[in-house]
Amino acid sequence: MTYTRLTKTFIGLMVIAAAGTIGDAILSMHGQGWHPWLATALMLAAVGTSRMKVTIPGIAGNMSVNLPFLLMSVITLSATESILIACACAVMQTLPKDGGKLKPVRVLFNVSMMTFASGVSGLLFHQHILSRLGWMSAPVLMAVTTATFFLSQTLPVSVIVALTDGGAVRRIWTNIAQMSFPYYVVSAGVTSMVHSASQNIGWLAPLLVLPVMYGIYRSYRLYFARAVEATSRPIGMTATAGVSH
């Protein structure tokens, strides 16, 4: 993998964007409060499932099943809390297996991308900017938040893959989107249902997602198995949460 000057510039821009998101989240924290029990439960669930991954056909990488926990943290916690959870998941996903060498630049990009995606989505959801629109309902707001999270992950990944491994950004993004978008839709639905349940059972709500996500994890592995074997020239990338480099 080659890190050209343009690649380093783009990673630097992602770091700056992440830093700005963190600053905005801290400034907005006083109006959102802290949720220690729910945040701890979501942290454990999200980090614990970060290594449960499925290989995406046509892409030399994978997709983790912890997305619903990340979405839950975005809509139920403060932006600062959701960013901390997203960063922890990004680091866990990037840790090498089988004694491999840790790649600091990849960790930096993944953490920055996840910080930006989680922070922007959370700020959009909690600032009530869209809620002022007459046609905006809770399901639509959830869909817009999920779409923001989706684009904030997949677009930076597509750009960095194009810069490091070559290829057209549009083609890479289309490939990623086709494989991961259905999972985002399912995750948004699961998140909405669990969010409703959390109003009655509180921090225990994330536990309800675990068996559901394990079932989805098994289904994705079985569904993608043959397609992965048939893929002869994958695009080089690794995924975090939904997708990442």
Selection from 54-63, 168-177, 202-211, 223-232 with the highest mean pLDDT? 168-177
Q: Residue 240 gets which letter from DSSP? A: -
Per DSSP, the three-state class of 59 is: strand
Tell me the average pLDDT of the chain. Answer: 79
pLDDT of residue 31: 62
pLDDT of residue 112: 94
In this prediction, residue 233 has a pLDDT band, given cuts at 50, 70 and 90, of very low
Per DSSP, the three-state class of 236 is: strand
Instruction: Identify the weakest region by mean pLDDT among 83-97, 120-134, 154-168.
Output: 120-134
Stretch 39-43: mean pLDDT: 87
Stretch 168-173: mean pLDDT: 88
pLDDT of residue 117: 93
The pLDDT of residue 39 is above 90: no
Output b/e per residue, 69-85; b: 16+ Cβ within 10 A. bbbbbbbbbbbbbbbbb
Per DSSP, the three-state class of 190 is: helix
pLDDT of residue 234: 47
pLDDT of residue 235: 44
